[in-house]
Chain A
Amino acid sequence: MSEMKKIKNLKEFSTSADRFEGANLLCPGCAHSIIVREVLNATNDDLILSASTGCLEVCTAVYPYTSWDASWIHIGFENGSTAVAGAEAMYKALKRKGRLKQPDREPKFVSFAGDGASYDIGFQWISGCFERGHNIMHVVLDNEVYANTGGQRSSSTPIGGSTTTSPAGRVSYGEKQHKKDMLAIMAAHGAPYVAQVAPNKWKDMVKKIQHGFSVEGPVFINAMSACTTEWKFLPEDTIAVSDLATDSLVFPLYEIIDGRKLNITYRPKNVIPVKDYLGAQGRFKHLFKPENKHVLDEWQARVDRDWEYLQRREEAGV
């Protein structure tokens, strides 16, 4: 295993040579980009990457251009994780047979996929990879919606989110189902490491990514990706909205080691009300109508309850 890249502070981090290029087709202000950069810059090791069909894939590999400076594969919507698992298996086979072209270099295998690709259509594939224990990292770019195709709901869409297939209207307040708790599910696979990250907390993210790269076995990273287009806020506010998400504890930052030991990794100095987070986004605007007050109340109660649960888990150390 090569030495982990030392990143003491942001100035040091800024000497990284990005392996992800601009002039791609992602929206101005897209958080996917910020996440990808933080992940790729967390290591100097070689990378073999995949992406499932979605915003990232569709905007960074449209013939005749690629924005990737590492080997990268896209097959389809469900199977980005399996693609990289297949590559990892080939790496193991060629290593054993002595046919690697650069035998002293050990690449890291990372698959990127949206919440749609990970929580829904690609769930089985990820579960299979994790059950088999491939040495891969799966990073979910969680914008809580099928953004690439215009904003349809996914099982990651939280209650009250207005999406094109669960729109808010005269008789509906939008999405009715709770957001799927993917981290708990992936932890239940016994994965050595699962964690939730957010691009505004770069140090927390980079630390977790580096830890993920250092363990043997499958790693699951859920990265909050504030989507200016689908969450409906100005492109310049991506980091500001991400701050609201982490500081209201709607997106708590934590990790689970070996499927059991939970550590909270960010405790906001000042916890802000959930409605400040919701109010910053057009997709929740309708929740501020008087008839939807109960949804706002439920939101705060649920976030409080979930935060309480995380703290209890952490204390219990199981």
Chain B
Amino acid sequence: MQNNGWDNFEIGAMLRSFDGAVSDIATTLQEDRPYSKSNSFTASVADWRIEKPIFNKDYCIDCQFCWIYCPDISIISRDKKMVGVDYDHCKGCGICVEVCPTNPKSLLMFAEQEDEDKALAGWPEKEKKEN
């Protein structure tokens, strides 16, 4: 796409969201959508991150706070259950960790290069409230 010349795109710099027709977008999940190559869904901002959130389903209560407060639609939730993080679209802002209400949190930030299994194995203990 980057090397397309002036004669090789739609006029008016118009962009299409999908390839072909989608008759009920609001009830079609991302994985079922025929995204066009112009849709930013097909791009990645993984290289923005220096930290990433890692999800620990052992503590998650599926409250969906992370889902709603993620600016980047990077918390994947299906059938009211937290599934994981979309690392193509996560910018590492850390909001999901801040809003997670469990103790210990079900999402924590780690260095970008951190190994997921290692992180899960070393998950912090439940924080005791100070008297």
Query: Are both chains from one complex?
Result: yes
Let me know if A14 and B67 touch, CB within 8 A. Answer: yes
A99 at the interface (CB under 8 A from B): no
> Whole-angstrom distance between the alpha carbons of A20 and B25 in the complex?
11
Question: Which chain A positions have C-beta within 8 A of B15?
Answer: 61, 63-66
A204 at the interface (CB under 8 A from B): no
B103 at the interface (CB under 8 A from A): no
15 contacts between A and B (CB under 8 A): A14-B64, A17-B25, A17-B30, A18-B30, A22-B41, A22-B73, A22-B74, A28-B94, A29-B93, A45-B26, A63-B13, A64-B9, A66-B17, A200-B69, A235-B93
Q: A43-B26, A236-B109 are in contact. List 19 more A-B contacts (CB 8 A).
A: A13-B64, A14-B68, A23-B41, A23-B42, A23-B43, A26-B71, A28-B72, A33-B71, A34-B70, A64-B15, A65-B15, A66-B17, A67-B39, A68-B17, A69-B18, A70-B17, A70-B25, A228-B93, A238-B93
A96 at the interface (CB under 8 A from B): no
A110 at the interface (CB under 8 A from B): no
Question: Which chain A positions have C-beta within 8 A of B95?
Answer: 29, 235-236, 238-239
> Whole-angstrom distance between the alpha carbons of A21 and B88 in the complex?
11
> Whole-angstrom distance between the alpha carbons of A136 and B106 in the complex?
40
Question: Chain B binding site: helix, strand, loop or mixed by DSSP?
Answer: loop
Let me know if B92 and A28 touch, CB within 8 A. Answer: yes
Identify A236's interface contact among B48, B74, B88, B93, CB under 8 A: B93
Chain A: which residue is nearest B33 at the CB level? A69
Chain A: which residue is nearest B97 at the CB level? A236
Let me know if B68 and A21 touch, CB within 8 A. Answer: no
B27 at the interface (CB under 8 A from A): yes
B89 to chain A, nearest CB (A): 3
Let me know if B17 and A17 touch, CB within 8 A. Answer: no
Let me know if A34 and B38 touch, CB within 8 A. Answer: no
Q: Which chain A residues numbered 54 to 76 have a C-beta less than 8 Å away from chain B?
A: 60-61, 63-70
Q: Which chain B residues numbered 49 to 85 have a C-beta less than 8 Å away from chain A?
A: 62-65, 67-74, 77, 79-80
| Number of A residues with CB within 8 Å of any CB on chain B | 50
| Number of B residues with CB within 8 Å of any CB on chain A | 52
Let me know if A15 and B71 touch, CB within 8 A. Answer: no
Q: Which chain A residues numbered 1 to 53 have a C-beta less than 8 Å away from chain B?
A: 10-24, 26, 28-34, 37-38, 43-46
B105 at the interface (CB under 8 A from A): no
> Whole-angstrom distance between the alpha carbons of A236 and B95 in the complex?
4
> Given that A66-B38, A67-B40 are contacting pairs, would A10 and B71 also be in contact in the complex, using a CB cutoff of 8 Å?
no
Closest 8 CB pairs of A and B: A22-B89, A236-B94, A33-B71, A28-B93, A28-B91, A29-B93, A23-B43, A14-B64
Question: Which chain B positions have C-beta within 8 A of A61?
Answer: 15
Let me know if A66 and B40 touch, CB within 8 A. Answer: yes
The interface centre, meaning the residue of B63, B69, B89 with most chain A CB atoms within 10 A of its CB, is B69
B119 to chain A, nearest CB (A): 18
Identify A65's interface contact among B25, B27, B43, B62, CB under 8 A: B43
Question: Which chain A positions have C-beta within 8 A of B38?
Answer: 64-66
Chain A: which residue is nearest B28 at the CB level? A17
